[in-house]
Amino acid sequence: MIPKLLNTHNWSSLHMKKLVLLCLLVAITACKKKQEYPPLKELASALFTTDLKPFYHGVASGDPLQDAVIIWTRVTPETQLPEVNVSWEVAIDSAFFNVMKSGSTTTGPEKDYTVKVDVTGLDPDTIYYFRFEALDGRSIIGRTKTTPVNGDSLEFAVVSCSSYQWGYFNSYGRIAEESPLDAVVHLGDYIYEHGEGGYGDTSIGRIHIPKHEIVSLEDYRTRYAQYRLDQDLRAAHQNHPFIAVWDDHEITNNAYADGAQNHQPDEGDYMTRRDIARQVYYEWMPIREQKDLYRKINFGSIADLIMLDGRLAGRTKQADSMTDPSRDDADRTMLGKEQFEWFKDQLQSSKARWKLIGNQVIFSYQDWGYSGFRLNMDSWDGYPVEQQMIVDFIRDNAIADVMFLTGDTHSSWAFEATNDPFEQYDEKTGDGAIGIEFGVTSLNSANSNERFPTDSVKLHEGRIANSDINPHLKYVNMRDHGYLKLTLTDSTGLAEFKIIETTRKPDPGIKIDKVVKVRSGSTKLILD
């Protein structure tokens, strides 16, 4: 129609050229205006490593299965783009000559620009490499591993409790250097909610961002972003798949289903805060999003890993003290009815040799030995009715080779697991225990000798282990930071309690503090 119109008005060819040029200029100007977005403000941007742009937070993987694994990254655009296209590749070699899976997805501000892909159709017990591309940039290369159908052995790093303000993440750095692990089992307190000076050693110079206690959606997202910029944590995620569960500090201290000790009326509605914390956890962690966090991951004939949620799925408020009469109420629960029934079913139906229980707080009876603090009401000792029901179920069904893996306490423990070491339990043979329990120390969060002299802490350890008050407690270290390296075969479980030299500066020093063994079919711990 344009030529006819021009002919009608007897326009010259020069006029036509001017009109076309004007239309092009209008179109270009409109496109430019459409693409102009405000800058994306990142409170943790001072911690960016520029050559990683736009994938400053690295890559991660998690929740491996025999044929699938979650891969994760975060894209950081310079402006507030409504949508970012991201491509991904999974290969069997780090040079990506043999790409097995590839695809594309999108992310945006509604996900805090995080990317999560459930890669399926993989082979079991196989190491894979993965990477992402977006905004003319390419991520670092991640390494992950699927679970076996059958195998000779498994290797895990078991970790908990990392607070940015308590020092450097040297433990994560040493985990990154481990030969390919089947998984890093993270038992919670991945972040801490406190503001500057609320909990930590500010003299080290590692200060939380934002500086106030986190409450809002932006607060929680910023705190995760800060942690994930740490080079040691980034390296651990890059090199191994994680299987994680929250404890309380991902929400706030001593959290339970509908409240928390560290939530105050001036911080708004607790349920809103809880839901924000849950949302951001799923955004930033390489984990399958589902109705409940508790789940089982099978590692072939050697192990089932049963991850419990002892915080938000159903936990009722903690008792005030060990003399609180409500402590023995039948409706006091750590797991909630639905999870409790699911847990029993997983234990009873498992065909694997080892039944590993990823558990936030100490299950075994534990007398801390302090005059003003003996039993911890935030642990299973604060929920004795449900604790006894689990003990009875394991005994009545003759479930063997149960191994609790526990975080929370910032100390290392090795129990012949029982809730009553004074009746059915035999401290010489281990008979009467329902399994074993390994408690892992903190990656860097403060433990006893940040508060008391080291010599005093050692004396206290001697008073509470292999003693009249805890005959089932065979090893304790309340002084050092690190992680647990767990190796499993069909016949043996081997726990190496690894401790780092310091948290006050970047340091590669690490050593094995204690080696503890257990044979399948036995609840007797063997200490080297």
The answer to whether residues 510 and 480 touch, using CB atoms and an 8 Å cutoff, is: no
Q: Give me the percent of the chain exceeding a pLDDT of 90.
A: 91
Question: Distance between CA atoms of 42 and 61, rounded to whole angstroms?
Answer: 24
| 1, pLDDT greater than 50 | no
Q: What pLDDT digit, counting tens, does each position of 115-146 carry?
A: 999 999 999 999 999 999 999 999 999 999 99
Q: What is the pTM of this model?
A: 0.93
Using 50, 70 and 90 to split pLDDT, how confident is the model at 151?
confident
The answer to whether residues 358 and 185 touch, using CB atoms and an 8 Å cutoff, is: yes
The full length of the chain comes to 528
Question: Distance between CA atoms of 356 and 128, rounded to whole angstroms?
Answer: 25
pLDDT of residue 420: 96
H helix count then E strand count, the chain: 9, 24
Q: What is the CATH number of domain 154-527?
A: 3.60.21.70
> Residue 512: in which H helix or E strand, if any?
strand 510-519
Using 50, 70 and 90 to split pLDDT, how confident is the model at 283?
very high
pLDDT of residue 8: 40
Place of tokens 């081997």: 494
Strands (E), 335-431: 354-359, 402-406, 412-417
Query: Which residue, among 352, 356, 363, has the nearest Cα to 417 in the 3D structure?
Result: 363
Q: What pLDDT digit, counting tens, does each position of 367-394 carry?
A: 999 988 999 999 999 999 999 999 999 9
Q: What pLDDT digit, counting tens, does each position of 402-446 carry?
A: 999 999 999 999 999 999 999 999 999 999 999 999 999 999 999
3-state secondary structure 26-94: HHHHHHHHHCCCCECCCCCHHHCCHHHCCCCCCEEEECCCCCCEEEEEECCCCECCCCEEEEEEEECCC
Parallel, antiparallel or unpaired: strands 154-159 and 183-186? parallel
Using 50, 70 and 90 to split pLDDT, how confident is the model at 9?
very low
Average pLDDT over the chain reads: 94
pLDDT of residue 260: 97
Using 50, 70 and 90 to split pLDDT, how confident is the model at 157?
very high
- 218 phi-psi bin (left φ>0, alpha ψ -120 to 50, beta other): alpha
Task: Write the CB contacts of 458 (distance below 8 Å, at least 6 apart in sequence).
Answer: 479
Question: Distance between CA atoms of 412 and 483, rounded to whole angstroms?
Answer: 9
Q: What pLDDT digit, counting tens, does each position of 319-350 carry?
A: 999 999 999 999 999 999 999 999 999 999 99
pLDDT of residue 6: 36
Q: What is the CATH class of 51-145? A: mainly beta
The answer to whether residues 367 and 312 touch, using CB atoms and an 8 Å cutoff, is: no
| 22, pLDDT greater than 80 | no
pLDDT of residue 3: 40
Q: What pLDDT digit, counting tens, does each position of 479-504 carry?
A: 999 999 999 999 999 999 999 999 99
Q: Which whole-number Å values give the CA distances from 128 to 147, 177, 264, in the listed order?
A: 12, 17, 46
pLDDT of residue 32: 45
The answer to whether residues 222 and 210 touch, using CB atoms and an 8 Å cutoff, is: yes
3-state helix, strand, coil in the chain (%, to 5): 25, 25, 50
Give the pLDDT mean for 151-163: 97
pLDDT of residue 25: 53
Q: What pLDDT digit, counting tens, does each position of 65-112 carry?
A: 999 999 999 999 999 999 999 999 999 999 999 999 999 999 999 999
Question: Distance between CA atoms of 295 and 188, rounded to whole angstroms?
Answer: 15
pLDDT of residue 13: 52
Using 50, 70 and 90 to split pLDDT, how confident is the model at 57?
very high
Give the pLDDT mean for 455-478: 97
Could you tell me which residues are beta bridge partners of residue 519?
492
To 10 degrees, what angle do helices 231-239 and 217-228 make? 80
Q: How far is CA 79 from its chain centroid?
A: 30
Question: Distance between CA atoms of 444 and 173, rounded to whole angstroms?
Answer: 12
DSSP annotation string for 434-456? -EEEEE---SSS--GGGTS-HHH
**pLDDT: is 28 or 430 the higher one?**
430
Using 50, 70 and 90 to split pLDDT, how confident is the model at 5?
very low
**pLDDT: is 182 or 291 the higher one?**
182
What's the farthest any 2 CA atoms get from each other in the chain? 110
The answer to whether residues 492 and 519 touch, using CB atoms and an 8 Å cutoff, is: yes
3-state secondary structure 185-248: EECCCCCCCCCCCCCCCHHHCCCCCCCCCCCCHHHHHHHHHHHHCCHHHHHHHHHCCEEECCCC
| 19, pLDDT greater than 70 | no
Helix (H, G, I), strand (E, B) or coil at 170: helix
pLDDT of residue 24: 53
